[in-house]
Chains A and B, each alone.
Chain A
Amino acid sequence: MTDKKIRVLVAKPGLDGHDRGAKVIARALRDSGMEVIYTGLRQTPEMIAEAALQEDVDAVGLSILSGAHLTLVPRITQLIRANGQDDVRIFVGGIIPDEDVPKLKEMGVDGVYGPGSPTHAIIDDIRKLVNDAA
């Protein structure tokens, strides 16, 4: 399909209270032609996996500022895989210490982006990984 749209779930797990970063990413992805499903604040891992399933997304972007990434991310990836969505790419953005990046990658995360990351880098990575998976 020439116009197969890339669909991305942008989610904000955890309890920290603002979603400015997530909204910036959502808009940047939209401006690059993707369809972004935005779910709002304080999503549990179960809610995120359920939304990823119902929306049949190609990728899930998680915005995590709380520092809880090492507990949230494995839970979310497990749930998504348990639903049978083996191809869904997973991206994490937020405040992630350097030493945690390899750990996240081991948990199945495809890309990690700190606060200064240019949005075009994220967009390019999503495009590339999703098209490879297809």
Chain B
Amino acid sequence: MSLQDSVLRGDRLAISRLLTEVENDTTAGQAALNELFTHTGRAHLVGITGAPGTGKSSLVNQLALHYRKAPQPLKVAIVAVDPSSPFTGGAVLGDRVRMRELSGDSGVFIRSMATRGSLGGLALATAGMTQVLDAAGFDVILIETVGAGQSEVEIAKLAHSVLVVDVPGLGDDVQAIKAGILEIADILVLNKADRPGVEAAERALLGMLKLGHPTKHLVQHHNHLEEVLAPVDAHVDDWLIPIRRTVATEGEGLPELLEVLAAHKAHLQNSGDWQRRERSRLHTQLQDLVKQTLMAGWRSNVTDAQYADALDQLVERKLSPRQALQALLP
């Protein structure tokens, strides 16, 4: 039986092995994804992002526990992304430490991954891995990323619903990071609500939301997807970004968070945003793929020496950037 057939039957070893093939972008992985793709598109992809240590893994743990003990339990897959060291390429992936309560449940599958090299590469690998899990029959896929850089924003764009996690008493140094990731939030989670300063933190978040015009729409415009601000007379069915308080270590606020996630999913489906996001997501993925493939094809036709030579001439101002490009194209 082929790897993809075993995946469709929910075989955990096959799922795990295919995740590796897809992460490493092997030909076997690519071939299997071609076969599996028609079986994808059913799972609810939920991104969980926020500054380091805000409690993302603890929240993921609780979300999964609650999905599992719902009257109609959902099958939950988790993809937990941690940064690779830029110096050694190695990584310590420690998110599972907070998810020990999920072990022994065959309706849960947890996979850790490192960011590895390139931006586009990570986004593509993550997209592929969620497709494997989607095809394997997981109803919800929780994707945890540290909200610190562009790569996390890229990954969060994969998701249908994005939770941005904040906590009381974060220093000013992370305000800029926060401003960046607030833009991608569908739901704000104020975790560690057992800590002092919750009120102030919530007021600050509300303030930032108002500044940022929370109601955004994706529109199709000359074949480009653009985010536009909702008009002043916004429809009643516009999504107003809710803020939910949680204590992830205790599971407090989790039923409310699950409700709001279900409401967001329903909103996406009823408003047509689900299809729009799907289109935008696949558009991004296709673009990444085109770039990666063209780049690799081009690179295989240029030697390191040729490239270095063009760069030297560029630095010496003997060639302009465009002339250097011409010199390097076949």
Interface residues of A (CB under 8 A from B): 1, 3-5, 26-27, 29-40, 43-44, 46-47, 50-51, 53-56, 83-85
Across the interface, B94 reaches (CB within 8 A) one of A38, A43, A54, A83, namely: A38
A34 to B114, CA, bound (A): 10
On whether the beta carbons of A33 and B93 are closer than 8 Å, the reply is no
Number of A-B contacts (CB under 8 A): 80
Q: Could you name 26 residue pairs across A and B whose Cβ atoms are closer than 8 Å?
A: A1-B24, A30-B90, A30-B91, A31-B85, A31-B88, A32-B90, A33-B88, A36-B90, A36-B91, A37-B96, A38-B93, A38-B94, A38-B97, A39-B96, A40-B96, A46-B104, A50-B103, A51-B96, A51-B103, A51-B110, A53-B13, A55-B16, A56-B16, A56-B19, A56-B20, A84-B13
> What are the 6 A-B residue pairs with the smallest beta carbon separation, nearest first?
A40-B97, A30-B90, A56-B16, A47-B103, A38-B94, A33-B90
State whether the Cβ of B42 lies closer than 8 Å to any Cβ in chain A: no
For A33, the chain B residues whose CB sits under 8 A away are: 88-90
For B66, the chain A residues whose CB sits under 8 A away are: none
Q: Which of B79-120 contact A (CB under 8 A)?
A: 84-85, 88-94, 96-97, 100, 103-104, 109-112, 114, 116
For B85, the chain A residues whose CB sits under 8 A away are: 30-31
Over the window 10-38 of chain B, the binary record of Cβ atoms lying under 8 Å from chain A Cβ atoms (1 yes, 0 no) is: 00110011011000101000000000000
B159 to chain A, nearest CB (A): 21
A115 to B279, CA, bound (A): 55
Task: Please judge, given known A-B contacts A37-B112, A40-B100, whether A29 and B16 are in contact too, CB under 8 Å.
Answer: no
For B96, the chain A residues whose CB sits under 8 A away are: 37-40, 51
For A26, the chain B residues whose CB sits under 8 A away are: 92
For A4, the chain B residues whose CB sits under 8 A away are: 24
B71 to chain A, nearest CB (A): 26
For A38, the chain B residues whose CB sits under 8 A away are: 92-94, 96-97
A52 to chain B, nearest CB (A): 9
A36 to B17, CA, bound (A): 17
For B104, the chain A residues whose CB sits under 8 A away are: 46-47, 50
On whether the beta carbons of A30 and B24 are closer than 8 Å, the reply is no
A55 to B91, CA, bound (A): 14
On whether the beta carbons of A39 and B88 are closer than 8 Å, the reply is no
Task: Please judge, given known A-B contacts A30-B88, A38-B92, A55-B112, whether A1 and B26 are in contact too, CB under 8 Å.
Answer: yes
On whether the beta carbons of B111 and A54 are closer than 8 Å, the reply is yes
For B109, the chain A residues whose CB sits under 8 A away are: 54
A27 to B92, CA, bound (A): 7
On whether the beta carbons of A34 and B19 are closer than 8 Å, the reply is no
Write the chain B residue with the least CB distance to A34.
B90
Write the chain B residue with the least CB distance to A42.
B100
For A32, the chain B residues whose CB sits under 8 A away are: 88, 90
